[in-house]
Structure 1
Amino acid sequence: MREFVVQQNQSHSVLITGSTSGIGLAIAHCFARAGHHVMLHGLADNETADALRAAFAGYPGNQGFSSADIASEAGCAQLVADTREAIGNPSILINNAGIQHTAAAHEFPSDKWHQILSINLSASFFLCRELLPAMRAARWGRIINVASVHGLVASENKSAYCAAKHGLVGLTKVLALENADHNITANAICPGWVETPLIQPQIEHIAREQQIDLETARAELVGAKQPMARATSPDAIGELALYLCGDFAGTITGAALPVDGGWSAQ
């Protein structure tokens, strides 16, 4: 038990996919502030990458950045290689990268279906497969899959997204069972509406259509699905991820944790 506690309290190398903005970036800041070594990832140009490195330069741990395209198995392998070179072998993997496209199932473009499944689900599997052997050898590891409330419930026009996120929750449970005896936990965080730039166009559209102010439009958008009609802060997702890698979460595994204002409780 003593060896376990010491290992928990040390700094770890953390790989966070899709961490150039939104939830992923908030998670990265939370782990960097806590003293961990952080690998940032996303499809970003050199200027954006340099700005990210500068933003993280003041933290105590090391950091790196990769723009590997994780839509393919080879891209996932490249990301792992880039991470090991920059910050060492990651003992914490946070699969956050995701994309979205909406259309009715009978009209859903096949290229969008394959792209969403590749990035939102398959990439998480390939990265876990790459990193689990080292975690198992070290007898310590943490896998956090940022799924969605749409991994628990469905919405119209989101067949690929819901399929991928439901699959990610299922993958999480399998990983938890297979690695429980190696002190490796796997959990899914399932956010509802999160206060990121992605929701702003929808808020502005409602405000224009109904000729209401932005705050009223925000409450209407969020409240249409969530009994608690306010969006979650990205930092709240980051702090939950950090908690799941801490001392008191060692027996939380295989869980799909909704952070959705009561959406999935209905």
Structure 2
Amino acid sequence: SFELRATKKNKPVKGVVSCSDAQPSSAEELRGIGIVGFFRGKKLLITGATGFLAKVLVEKILRTMPDVGKIFVLIKAKNEAAAMERLQHEIIDAEVFRCLQQKHGKSYQAFMLSKLVPVVGNLCESNLGLDADSVDVIANQVDLIVHSAANTTFDERYDVALNINTRGPCQMMSFARKCKKIKLFLHVSTAYVNGERQGQIMEMPFRMGDCIARERLNTSGTPQRPIPVLDVEGEMKWAVDLEETSQENEVAQKFKKLGMKR
């Protein structure tokens, strides 16, 4: 919880953290709708925690639900030591955890390491690039998966964006099917799901290949024209074929242009 505090000259001081304001203000608020109780003892697998959004989620969970079980954090690294280093510098030492640091004091480091388990992996590989032991442990223990890892660069190479933002969720869902205790799979999408629509947005399921462009066309009153269905597998094959038929010094530029076009 961040707030602005005024000085005597009524000038705001930015970046001041109020830990007291971050706590529930009443017993009713503490009970909520049962989320706190649901998380008690649960074990999670979270991707993207070295980024922005999932890092805030980890902080929220550990601050408001400290009796949560383990949180396995998928980290791209060359080995366990490198993953632990990223966990320390990019998560534990992050400014967003200042409230937790103040709350736990000298025991902060021990608390964080008792909850967070860095796992070396790669989102784009089979079994998330995990070693056999990690696959066995996580698949048998995890109750919830939060997938928040993605490439958010708007002008990214098409093959890179496809690999992370399309293949990545597919690999996550394949792995989730192996988790014996899983109760929830949450995917945080990079898609602008509401497009340019305004007013009340109804939650309607999309079929594979559907897009908002089709919905906008159907409601705009303009003559309908066919909109091609997105063929994800076809797009992936196209990217592979383009790489194989291009000169090495042309690949990066071609995929950059293709990314902007697609």
TM above 0.5, yes or no, is no
Structure showing greater Rg: 2
Instruction: Indicate the TM-score class for this superposition, using the shorter chain for normalisation.
Output: 0.3 to 0.5
Q: Which is helix-richer, 1 or 2?
A: 1
- TM-score, normalising length from structure 2? 0.43
- TM-score, normalising length from structure 1? 0.43
Kindly indicate whether structure 1 or structure 2 has the higher relative contact order, using CA contacts under 8 Å at least 6 residues apart.
1
